[in-house]
A and B are shown apart, each in its own frame.
Chain A
Amino acid sequence: MPDLREARLALIPVLAENSSYGYIGRTALMKYMYFLQTLRGLPLGYRFTLYSYGPFDSDVLADLGSAETLNAIDSEAVMYPGGYGYQIKPGNKAKWLKDRAAAFLDKHKSDVKWVADKFGSLTSPQLELVSTIIYVDREAAQMKEKLKLADLSNRVHEVKPHFTGAQIFSFAEGLAKDKLLQSVR
């Protein structure tokens, strides 16, 4: 396996282990990978683009499939009223896979912990919202735009109209306070 790919696969059980629940869902996996790459600069090589459910790259799900094939994770669908989700837990070959990417995982141990500490308590709709705010912010920053927090929130609202303006503003404000936004003046 090429190194980068091996590192990406090995991150999946590590992210699950770092969760206080002992597992993560698919939304959390997608968004944690996004945060690791975008906020912490991990060279994961994903190509996230925006969907109504936030930044997404199908390669993350392909990696999830590969990790499951290798028995490095166990993934199970869980039903709840009105919907369903997944529980992704380390599998019996998680250690084997982690050992193969040990240098990478060791180097980025603090980044994984940072993501788990910072975003681990958010629900999946909140993760979708926060990651969308960051995506919209980075897009504006790339265009060298300087936005007010309210303008950034309005842009996010146009993509995610099922959140109220106040909800979006509140999360954006929190991210700005933590200095995680680049376009906000």
Chain B
Amino acid sequence: MANPHRYYEIRCPIHGFISLNDWEWEVISQPAFQRLRRIRQLAWTDYVYPGAMHTRFEHSLGVMHTATLLYDAIRTSSENVLTSELAYNDAGLKRDRQLVRFAALLHDVGHAPFSHASEDLMPDQGNGKRYAHEDYSVAVIRNELRKAIEEHPLNGNYGFHAEDIAALIEGSARAKQSVFWRDLISGQMDADRMDYLLRDSYHAGVQYGRFDLHRLISTIRAIPGAEGHPPRLGIIEGGVHAAEALVLARYFMFTQVYFHKTRVAYDVHLRGAMKELLPNGHFPRPIDGELAQFLLWDDWKVLGLLSDGKGGEHGSRIATRNHYRRIFHTPEVSVEKDLDQLQTVREKLGKLLVAEEPASKSWYKTGMPDIPVVNDIDEKTVRPLSEHSNVVANLKANNQVFLYTKPEDVPKAKKIVGEVMEHARSA
């Protein structure tokens, strides 16, 4: 048997070297994880930013690395909160460090081809709600990765069940006190967001997603729970501008990359093409007997089918770069009159309107940041980031809406939109 105490290092363009233990290496080596090499992080964003060809594989490694930096920083700075309010001891903290690493590594293992772009084609659960990629991630962990997680010799030190990792990712009570760490996997200042902003920015060749990661890490804290609340993650005052930059990076990346008009058009085409390619128009479910079928779907398979001329009109538009054109959009901060005008344009365009994409539907949409900041002098005084940052306080949610028409209909649609706008001006 290979040495179970061996360490490995993988080069990462964002973080330098990422270290893994033999256990993690074993998990990464499983086909279900290797599949992430064939799932692009940002779908067809390369049609706008040609460098954005990176995959969920490198992002997953980056999230594990970032989550570990955050975990270690919190343990160093806030061990008293963890021990007094969550009853951690050394063994518990060592265990949960590994748990967080696995959860961060595997949180995206259930992504569909081209990541979020095709998530709309995940089937209904039978209760009116669609499955999401997290449902597939936990199913993969409980099934395809279970043996690699539970049977590695290093697990003799931890006694993990695959279920422990799945419970933390999906937000189950089975995660027990470890649920505290969910904020590192999916929260305001999670490792996922920190990694994807930096990584997507790097590969797209833009600067919008950059912020001072290491300053943020050095200022993160577990803040004691006040008045019956549990402890939560926040920062000390020294991290205010790093946190502000994180919030702004998210905003800029949304407007410049994730919600770029052409990128959004290709999401529409991908959904349309996938509907044609998938049996019954949706992915297999994350259940016994169907999960393995789901995992056969990756970017390579979809690209092969598109290359064979399949995928209908939308597949053909992707292949020939003949995408829908944005014909109208509301402002980034739309108010009543903008939505009224949108409704008029919508009605006047009639059948020329082929897609409507609101920012609110995007997985990357920006919310209302609420990052607690601890006072440097009096640790019991905690205020929100918006009280420290005028920029954050005045940031409004982007509720923009894009309307699309076929390229061949642009002249007709442009004329109609022009008339509506002229009427609005004269009124």
Contacts and interface: CB of A to CB of B under 8 A. Distances in A.
A128 B225 CA distance: 13
A149 interface: no
Contacts of A5: 358, 360
Contacts of A132: 173
Contacts of A70: 334-336, 339, 399
Nearest to A51: B182
B87 interface: yes
B176 A65 contact: no
B382 A51 contact: no
B358 A1 contact: yes
A161 B365 contact: no
A84 B384 contact: yes
Contact of B360 (A49, A66, A81, A93): A66
Contacts of B382: 82-84
Nearest to B359: A66
Contacts of B177: 52, 158-159, 161
B408 interface: no
Interface stretch (A56-64, A101-109, A110-118, A170-178): A56-64
Contacts, number: 137
A82 B380 contact: yes
A123 B172 contact: no
B179 A123 contact: no
| Band of interface residues on A | 35 or more
A158 B230 contact: no
A159 B173 CA distance: 6
Contacts of A1: 339, 358, 360, 401
Contact of A69 (B129, B186, B384, B396): B396
A125 B171 contact: no
A58 to B, nearest CB: 6
A50 interface: yes
Query: B173, B387, B396: which has the most chain A beta carbons within 10 Å?
Result: B173
A51 B170 CA distance: 10
Interface in A1-26: 1-2, 5, 26
Interface stretch (B242-250, B366-374, B413-421): B366-374
Contacts of A43: 128
A181 B396 CA distance: 39
B139 interface: no
Contact of B87 (A45, A50, A139, A161): A161
A43 B398 CA distance: 24
Contacts of B230: 52-53, 128, 160, 162
A65 B232 contact: no
Given A126-B228, A135-B173, 13 more contacts: A5-B358, A50-B173, A51-B182, A61-B367, A61-B368, A65-B367, A65-B368, A83-B226, A93-B336, A139-B173, A158-B176, A162-B228, A163-B228
Interface of A: 1-2, 5, 26, 43, 45, 47, 49-53, 58, 61-66, 68-71, 75, 77, 79, 81-84, 93, 96, 123-126, 128, 132, 135-136, 139, 155-156, 158-163
12 contacts: A5-B358, A26-B370, A50-B179, A51-B171, A62-B368, A66-B399, A69-B397, A71-B336, A84-B382, A155-B173, A158-B177, A162-B85
> 5 tightest CB-CB pairs across the interface, nearest first?
A49-B171, A65-B397, A125-B228, A83-B226, A158-B176
